[in-house]
Structure 1
Amino acid sequence: MDSRRGKPIQAFHSGRSILADVFTGLLLVSLGIVLGMICNANFPESYLHPYLQPQPLTPPPAPAPSPETACVGPRSPSPAPRMEFADFLAPSAGGGGGGLMHNMTDEELLWRASMEPRRVDASMPRGIVHKVAFLFLVTADLPLRPLWEKFFAGHEGLYSIYVHARPGYAGSPPRDSVFYGRMIPSQNTTWGTMNLVDAERRLLGNALLDLANARFALFSESCAPLLSFPAVYAYLTGSRASFVESYDRPVGRLRHWRWFTNRGVSLEHWRKGSQWFQMHRALAAEFVAEARYIDVFKGGHGKKNMEEHYLPTLVTLLGWGARSQNRSLTNVDWSHSRGGHPLRYGARDVTAELIERLRKGEGNCGYNGGVADLCYMFARKFAPDTLGKLLELAPKVMGFG
């Protein structure tokens, strides 16, 4: 009797043990899932191509593991935050001395800069103010920086500044200067060579990353403004054309005609002109995207001054003539050329009469199908000792400062 009753009791206890084991197993599995979710919470996926994300020059150090963490194994560094639309409008804006620094190669930079938005409709953000990008191609210091600072003062949001100096230059303007943190990654340049064109394209490439930049103007350390910022801004943004000097130069083209005609650059396209351009955005994007003819000019076997022929010839090769006024807005006096260099102004040369003469130039310059009383917005070459005189004349003659 007792033995028959013992079997159901034993079965009951056995079934309860199995249920307890199952419950314990489910509890452990659930606990493992929760811990796994906690450990993986800090590893979201990156949804953007690495070229479209800010890249640090050196990887940040890995954080030390916390003894309190329940995750086993080393933790990966947190990925860069996802970029918003505002980052594409001004991806390089930022404080610190390296605000414009990045680790893209020239090829990667020009590839990204050549991508231009083509769709314009109601989905585009409103209230974007067009800016003028001022591109400074210099060797080291900018001697006329105080003059430019007065020129830019009070007009924040209407301009961008980009500086290409030699790679070994370690100087920096003060933190309160508009030039602080505006240096871009650079390469060595040599007068009279095509690496000057590389530097120009590098400046344009960085400036094109800011979608609000609508006009692009190139300067050297000896350039100075001849008018106030509002006057310059209105002249540049109001023009329907770019300003790229391109004129026929029979002597120069005959000297190199065989090399270039054998590579698709005919004599009728050969041009010469000043490299100090002022471009609208569409032309700047095509300039950085061009890959065929720049290789032809770079392969010129040591031919000199190709930087003065490449862009002017490109204007005719690609049919840009209708989109350019065929002149520069930077006045350069070649009437007293010495050793292949234009006239250089010293402190004794700088007068109100000189500024007025430089602005008018030859007079009656083409502008939007008509003529303009003022031909030039800028001029070069001003020696460093002209700074004091220029600062003195700025409020009286140029209208700023």
Structure 2
Amino acid sequence: MLSPSPVSLLCALLLCVPLAVLFVAISPATTPTSAADGGDLVRTPVAISPNRSRPNPLTTFKHTTKNQQEMANNITTNQRAEDSSDESLFRRAARVNLMPSPPRKLAFMFLTTAPLPFAPLWELYFHQAPRNLYNIYIHADPRFRYHPPFSGVFEGRVIPSKPTSRHSPTLTSAARRLISHALLHDRSNSRFALLSPSCIPLHSFEFTYATLVGSGKSFIEILSNEVGAYERWAARGEDAMLPEVPFEDFRIGSQFFVVTRRHARMIVRDRRLWAKFMLPCLVNDACYPEEHYFATLLSMKDPRGCVPATLTHVDWAGRYDGHPRMYNASEVGPDLILVLRSHRPRYGDEEMNGNDSSVTERRDPFLFARKFSPGSVPRLLRMANDVIFRD
């Protein structure tokens, strides 16, 4: 039998290669595609350990592979990009001098999505104040129309602002943005008060200034063991806050506060805790970073430097919809102002500040109050000089 020549072997190979390619193309895959190979994420409910001190009613999810975790991390890309655009601002604000230059000023920081309905009342308030003792800053969500535009003492006081929404870190970011601009704008800013557009003053500027500057501490509500605290802590996932924020250190407090210059700088310098609180929530109903981040940060960093109470009065009695009571125009009169002034703030952990902030000893005055309906403006103006500004 004749041996095949090299030319004949080459021809045979050229004929077989297309057949092999065709066979591979039509053969079924022998290995199923998994999540780790780029398929859909497999979401496995986390079993709740029976030895936890509190039950977890949340359905949270655990990603079981490294690739899955990397895919899950993409969820936060937009939020991180939004925050990173502020990094230069925060870094510069974090380097300001801790000591304010004389005269010490109050920084009034309004966080709003609408024209300030009580601007006429605040105009009277600031007109009876020395101009060299205060500054005004406004964070105004750029998605809304502000008509009429900010005018009078509020003209030109809007800082570069970004969209905000509930159940997200954006309100906390806005407050950090306000603090940063106030720190950089005027070295004399000594106290930083965060206010709502529905806030009104309960006292004269002179009384407010003496109260805040006369205290060496921040006024921020710091509460532990609140109903629903565990659900709020676990809103991003059962262990998402660990190890930086263990549940035992998690605190809740009013969104509105007054902080010292030292604490203002501490807030804008923080990266470690903020990296946790800026994560998106899995359960919106328990997600209120603006009521958690500041209270937790200052409680962990400098509890003795805080009076654990807010000086902004609000009535939550009988409210279950996430919104406090709003005072209608018919309710607004001298008696209401005097009643709000007479209330005593709710203080947080008594042991955190020792005897100086003892619940039984302190009775700090409410300086502001919310919420008031826009229709109450005429009544408030009529009694401003004779009631509100008369201490």
TM-score by length of 2: 0.69
**2:257 match:** 277
Contact 2:221 2:253 in 1 (8 A): yes
* Residue number in structure 1 paired with 2:171: 196
Query: Please, which of 286, 289, 292 is the counterpart of residue 309 of structure 1?
Result: 292
Confirm or deny that 1:262 pairs with 2:251.
Answer: no
User: What letter corresponds to residue 243 of structure 1 in structure 2?
Assistant: F
C-alpha deviations, 1:253-284, integer Å up to 9, x for none? 32244324533211210111101010110000
- Contact 1:172-1:180 within 8 A present in 2 as well: no
Equivalent residue runs for 1:219-298 within 5 Å: 219-255=195-231, 256-257=233-234, 258-260=238-240, 262-298=242-278
| 2:107 aligned partner | 133
Identify if the C-alpha distance between structure 1 residues 249 and 260 changes in structure 2 by more than 3 Å, giving closer, same or farther: farther
Aligned pairs for 1:22-171 within 5 A: 105-117=85-97, 128-154=102-128, 155-171=130-146
Q: State the shift of 1:248 in Å.
A: 0.7
SS in 1 for 2:192: strand
Structure 1 Cα separation of the partners of residues 345 and 275 of structure 2: 38
Name the count of aligned residue pairs: 291
Provide the rounded CA distance (Å) in 2 between the counterparts of 1:177 and 1:282. Answer: 30
Letter in 2 for 1:273: G
* C-alpha distance in 1 between matches for 2:172 and 2:338: 31
Query: Which residue in 2 is equivalent to 1:336?
Result: 318
Cα pair distance change 1:288/1:334, threshold 3 Å: same
Q: Relative contact order, CA 8 A, sep 6+: which one is greater?
A: 2
1:354 equivalent in structure 2: 336
Whole-angstrom CA distance in 1 between matches of 2:133 and 2:172: 26
SS of residue matched to 1:161: strand
Stretch deviating more after TM superposition (363-372 or 389-398): 363-372
Is the 2:137–2:159 Cα contact (8 Å) retained in structure 1? yes
The match for 2:369 among 344, 364, 379 is 379
Distance in 1, Cα, partners of 2:324 & 2:151: 34
User: Deviating runs (4+, > 4 A) in structure 1?
Assistant: 172-176, 363-374
Q: CA deviation at 1:249?
A: 3.1
For 1:200 and 1:224, the matched residues in 2 are separated by 19
1:390 aligns with 2:370: no
Measure the CA separation in 2 of the matches of 1:262 and 1:399. 47
Distance 1:109 1:139 in 2: 22
Instruction: Tell me, in whole angstroms, the C-alpha distance in 1 between the residues paired with 2:111 and 2:91.
Output: 21
* Matched residue type, 1:265: V
Distance 1:161 1:150 in 2: 14
Q: Does 1:208 align with 2:187?
A: no
Greater alpha carbon shift after TM alignment, 341-350 vs 372-381: 372-381
Deviation at 1:117?
2.0
- Cα deviation for residue 108 of structure 1 reads 1.2
Opposite residue 248 of structure 2, the aligned amino acid is E
Tell me if structure 2 keeps the 8 A contact 1:361–1:374. Answer: no
Amino acid across the alignment from 1:111: R
Aligned 8 A contact 1:364 1:375 in 2: no
Instruction: Measure how far apart 1:243 and its partner are.
Output: 0.5
Q: Please give the per-residue CA displacement for 1:108-155, whole angstroms capped at 9, x wherever unaligned.
A: 11111111325x7xxx98xx3111000000002001000000000042
Query: Partners of 2:222 and 2:346 in 1: how far apart?
Result: 18
Deviates more, 1:245-254 or 1:149-158: 245-254
Q: In structure 1, how many angstroms separate the alpha carbons of the residues matched to 2:364 and 2:333?
A: 18
Counterparts in 2 of 1:388 and 1:338: CA distance versus 1, 3 Å: farther
SS of the residue corresponding to residue 136 of structure 2 reads strand
Give 2:327's match in structure 1, choosing from 331, 345, 364: 345
Shift of 1:338: 4.2
Unaligned segments of structure 2, at least 5 residues: 1-83
Alpha-carbon separation, structure 2, partners of 1:252 and 1:112? 37
Distance 1:172 1:182, change over 3 A: farther
Larger radius of gyration: 1
Cα distance between partner residues in 2 of 1:358 and 1:190: 29
Distance 1:385 1:177 in 2: 20
Q: Distance in 2 between matches of 1:140 and 1:394?
A: 23
Task: Go from structure 1 to structure 2 and tell me whether the alpha carbon gap of 1:289 and 1:173 turns closer, same or farther (over 3 Å shift).
Answer: farther
> Taking structure 1 as the reference length, what is the TM-score of the superposition?
0.67
Partner amino acid for 1:308?
A: E
Following superposition, the deviation at residue 193 of structure 1 comes to: 1.9
How far off is 1:172 after superposition? 6.8
Deviation for aligned residue 1:206 = 0.4
Query: In the alignment, which residue of structure 2 is the partner of 1:327?
Result: 309
| Distance of 2:304 and 2:256 partners within structure 1 | 19
Aligned-partner SS, 1:157: helix
Sort the Cα spacing of 1:368 and 1:141 in 2 relative to 1 into closer, same or farther, 3 A. Answer: farther
